[in-house]
Amino acid sequence: MSYVLITGASSGIGKAFAEEYASRGNNLILVARSGTKLDALATELGGTHNIDVRTFIQDLSLPDSAEKVFDFCNRENLAVGTLVNNAGFGLDGAFDSLPLETHEKMVVLHNLTLVKLTWLFLPEMKRRNQGDIINLSSVVAFQGIPYNAVYAATKAFVLTFSESIREELQHSGIRVFALCPGLTETEIFEKTGINPHRTLMPVGPPEPVVRSAIESLNKNKSYSVPGFINKILIHGGRLLPRTVMLKLGMVLSRREKSMIKHSE
């Protein structure tokens, strides 16, 4: 029996992935820090769709977290057929005004844990000649963003990493895909008291983003940028000098207050 493993599954895009895969009859392994939310979601999805849903509570910003997730799956004899590396958080603020520890946690969560989970689960996928890996990147992966420097850099890493291993695995039966959404409505903004609609960027709900991702994966695309305006911004930006795009990034950056947005 195969499972879809989703990190950061308790809210936002991760929760939408869980709901979408559950509606398609997939068994789930949900990983996040929020045990109460995970258990409630597991009970709801398992009962509604008659699927097996397992939960594992873990802070994925810790360097050894990927190994703990992998060991849990091995102990429970859970075969991961689809890996969704979704967990992450965002920062707004000048690079040197934010704690170094927070930057480090972001790099570990967005990059190190993602790489480790991919490396750990890949051998079994290769043995079965089948598997899907979805990595959450962002529209900011295509261009540096002032006041979101580390966030943009980590998301650029995710996109480049995903495209690179996808090419390595092209004859293995394993599909690798990077999702690059723009601003997405989640309960995170409610908790911080920040209105995402104050930005100049379009804001959309997570459900269409997830459905678009799975559709693009099934079409064997290497990445997708959901949303017409987001696509225009990305492809139009390639025609402009990077210095101009950085200036535009300054305009688009919200600098009223520093914030941390968690998707765990």
List, for residues 230-241, the tens digit of each pLDDT value: 666 666 555 555
pLDDT tops 60 at residue 193: no
Mean pLDDT, residues 158-185: 94
Q: How confident is the model at residue 13 (pLDDT cuts 50, 70, 90)?
A: very high
Output the pLDDT for position 143: 82
Q: At a CB cut-off of 8 Å and minimum separation 6, what does 158 contact?
A: 85, 110, 111, 114, 135, 136, 137, 138, 141, 178
Long-range contacts of the stretch 162-169 (C-beta < 8 A, 24+):
162/133, 162/135, 162/137, 162/222, 162/223, 163/222, 163/223, 165/118, 165/133, 166/222, 169/126
Output the pLDDT for position 188: 46
pLDDT tops 70 at residue 165: yes
Q: How confident is the model at residue 31 (pLDDT cuts 50, 70, 90)?
A: very high
Q: How confident is the model at residue 226 (pLDDT cuts 50, 70, 90)?
A: confident
Mean pLDDT, residues 111-140: 97
- The phi, psi pair for 133, rounded to 5°, reads -130, 120
The bridge status of strand 79-85 relative to strand 89-92 is unpaired
Q: Which helix (H) or strand (E) holds 26?
A: none
For the chain, the average pLDDT equals 87
Lowest average pLDDT, out of 36-45, 146-155, 184-193, goes to 184-193
Lowest average pLDDT, out of 58-72, 104-118, 198-212, goes to 198-212
Mean pLDDT, residues 158-169: 98
Which residue's structure tokens are 């967990």?
87
CATH number of 2-262: 3.40.50.720
Q: How confident is the model at residue 111 (pLDDT cuts 50, 70, 90)?
A: very high
SS3 48: helix
Q: How confident is the model at residue 258 (pLDDT cuts 50, 70, 90)?
A: very low
pTM value is: 0.87
Contact 113, 104 (CB under 8 A): no
pLDDT tops 80 at residue 117: yes
Instruction: List, in sequence order, every beta strand (DSSP E) within 38-192.
Output: 53-57, 79-85, 89-92, 131-136, 174-179, 183-184
Provide the residue type at 226 as one letter: P
Output the pLDDT for position 184: 67
Q: How confident is the model at residue 202 (pLDDT cuts 50, 70, 90)?
A: low
Q: Which of the residues are catalytic? A: 151
For 234-252, letters b (16+ CB in 10 Å) and e give beebeeeeeeebeebbeeb
Q: Where exactly are the structural domains of the chain? A: 2-262
